């Protein structure tokens, strides 16, 4: 606000600089969708390590590729992921009557049978303590209810009075500080509890009709419906604030993968798709087979073949696994070491934990698939198993798409998301030259920072990028409609996919 001078003297005032720093967003946050033994089904769960995943969603299960893929992601350099858990419609949460309290597990599944609750009522007040405990497993892996359980969380001074700050319903269901294991009905929490000297086990929790075969799980009707519901406007996948990569481990049906592409486009994310478990060269010689139009298929990439790796549930015997978890980790590791503009392929992309590809490929076989937009996973001496392809689904040479390469598409997504979030301050500002100048300043500073990091082609900023926001981009008619137009251009780096070495024999100095 301008200073209002009233007395003779010197006045000091501060004015804003007009600088609104734009910060680049994360580039490798991965959303995994699949069945897990436990965890919320109405929202995505964020995990920052495989140990986080085990605490939130249970351990690896032979019924699903999800746990394997998440572990392979973190083993290969991933650091941030969201888990969207899908369950059959007939899955049920366990219930327990704890001294009069009517409790239920906070998510469906047989997992709740390993847990119980202990209630201890205070003698001097109508308040009580609620502890959630976990029973140790016996030799068969079943909960041993005769053993002393381990306390996993506790809530003190709970009350049955809705007017109290420690009302049991509000405490247990609090979004941030509530229970990680149990819930309670708001309309029927039960009666004032009595002390329970022993832990009350949860009963009746079921996983529902989940096949023991993970390939059958990802093709089950309830799974496909859950996947469709998850990406609806109010679905758990859509409610994630930011994710960059999408993986549905083991999903190989091209008719289901195709509809995921428009969702990825709307979220500025990238789909890492798995080929069929026993896919052959003949099946893929005409391309991935995932349709969606040239404006959509550049939002995903297909990898072939599956990867052989030790299975911790089978005494580390080698099994075949879908590549998406490994590859997502390689993306994250490459982004951290080199930047999102570097192709996630090459001799630096060794796949940790891999024994080798399911199908060994020769150079001519690789060449047949590469020009058809199928990214190969190869095994080379010295380098072992590596990712040897960096094309989007639009990378077929016959398509001729400008979004042929994965790093070009992902770099554009990074710029779009960063500018989308970093320019929110512009909304409702006065739409005239002072605003346009501020936009050019801030966007230009962000792009200049990317240029210094080596994200663009060119030896000078003029050759690498441009920002236009002035009366040539925003007309008076645009101003009248409340629109400001910003045009940003960048010269992307493209991978050296083919290295051609020319050797010529020199005859020598022949005297004549």
Could you report the per-residue pLDDT of 235-277, keeping only the tens digit for each?
A: 999 999 999 999 999 999 999 999 999 999 999 999 999 999 9
Query: Domain 30-87+212-407 carries which CATH code?
Result: 3.40.50.11780
Q: Say how many C-beta atoms besides its own lie within 10 A of residue 92's C-beta.
A: 18
Torsion of the alpha carbons at 418, 419, 420 and 424, rounded to the nearest 10: 110
Please state, rounded to an integer, the average pLDDT across all residues of the chain.
94
Q: What is the pLDDT of residues 323-333, one digit of tens each?
A: 999 999 999 99
Mean of the pLDDT values across residues 401-422?
97
DSSP state of 456: B
Quote the CA–CA distance of 197 and 199 in Å, as a whole number.
7
Q: pLDDT value at position 312?
A: 94
Angstrom CA distances, 434 to 423, 426, 431, 439, 447, stand at 15, 12, 8, 9, 20
Return the top range by mean pLDDT from 1-15, 48-62, 120-134. Answer: 48-62
Domain limits of the chain?
1-22+427-512, 30-87+212-407, 95-201
Q: Say how many C-beta atoms besides its own lie within 10 A of residue 99's C-beta.
A: 21
């Amino acid at each position: 606000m301008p200073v209002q001078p009233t007395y003779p003297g010197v006045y000091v005032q501060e004015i804003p600089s007009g600088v609104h720093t734009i910060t680049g967003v994360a580039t490798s946050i991965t959303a995994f969708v699949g069945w897990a033994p436990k965890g919320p089904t109405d929202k995505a769960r964020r995990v920052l390590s495989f140990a986080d995943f085990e605490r939130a969603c249970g351990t690896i299960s032979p019924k699903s590729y999800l746990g394997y893929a998440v572990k392979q992601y973190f083993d290969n350099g991933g650091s941030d992921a969201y888990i969207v858990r899908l369950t059959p419609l007939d899955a049920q949460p366990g219930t327990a009557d704890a001294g009069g309290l009517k409790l239920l597990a906070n998510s469906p599944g047989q997992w709740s049978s390993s847990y119980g609750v202990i209630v201890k009522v205070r003698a001097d007040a109508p308040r009580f303590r609620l502890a959630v405990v976990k029973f140790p497993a016996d030799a068969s892996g079943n909960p041993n209810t005769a053993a002393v359980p381990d306390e996993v969380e506790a809530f003190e001074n709970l009350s049955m009075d809705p007017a109290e700050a420690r009302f049991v319903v509000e405490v247990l269901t609090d979004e941030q500080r509530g229970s990680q294991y149990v819930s309670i009905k708001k309309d029927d929490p039960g009666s004032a509890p009595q002390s329970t000297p022993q832990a009350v086990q949860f009963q009746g929790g079921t996983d529902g009709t989940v096949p023991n075969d993970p390939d059958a799980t990802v093709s089950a009707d309830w799974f496909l419906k859950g996947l469709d519901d998850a990406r609806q406007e109010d679905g758990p996948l859509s409610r994630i604030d930011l994710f960059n990569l999408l993986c549905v481990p083991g999903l190989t049906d091209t008719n289901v993968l195709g509809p995921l592409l428009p969702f990825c486009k709307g979220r500025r994310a990238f789909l890492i798709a798995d080929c069929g478990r026993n896919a052959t060269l003949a099946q893929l010689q005409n391309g991935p087979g995932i349709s969606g139009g040239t404006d959509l298929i550049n939002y995903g990439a297909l990898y072939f073949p599956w990867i052989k790796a030790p299975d911790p549930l089978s005494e580390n015997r080698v099994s075949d696994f879908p590549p998406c978890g490994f590859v997502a980790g390689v993306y994250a590791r490459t982004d951290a070491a080199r930047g999102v503009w570097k192709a996630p392929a090459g001799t630096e992309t060794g796949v940790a934990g891999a024994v080798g590809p399911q199908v060994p490929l020769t150079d001519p076989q690789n060449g047949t698939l590469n020009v058809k937009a199928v990214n190969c996973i190869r095994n080379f001496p010295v380098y072992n198993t590596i990712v040897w392809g960096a094309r989007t689904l639009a990378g077929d040479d016959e398509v001729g798409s400008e979004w042929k390469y994965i790093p070009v598409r992902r770099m554009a997504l990074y710029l779009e998301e960063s500018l989308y979030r970093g320019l929110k301050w512009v909304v409702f500002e006065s739409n005239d030259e002072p605003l346009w100048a501020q936009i050019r300043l801030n966007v230009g500073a962000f792009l200049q920072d990317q240029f210094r990091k080596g994200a663009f082609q060119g030896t000078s900023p003029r050759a690498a990028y441009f920002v236009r926001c002035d009366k040539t981009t925003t007309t008076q008619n645009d101003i009248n409609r409340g629109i400001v137009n910003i045009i940003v251009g960048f010269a992307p780096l493209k991978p050296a996919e083919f290295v051609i070495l020319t050797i010529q024999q020199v005859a020598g100095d022949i005297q004549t």
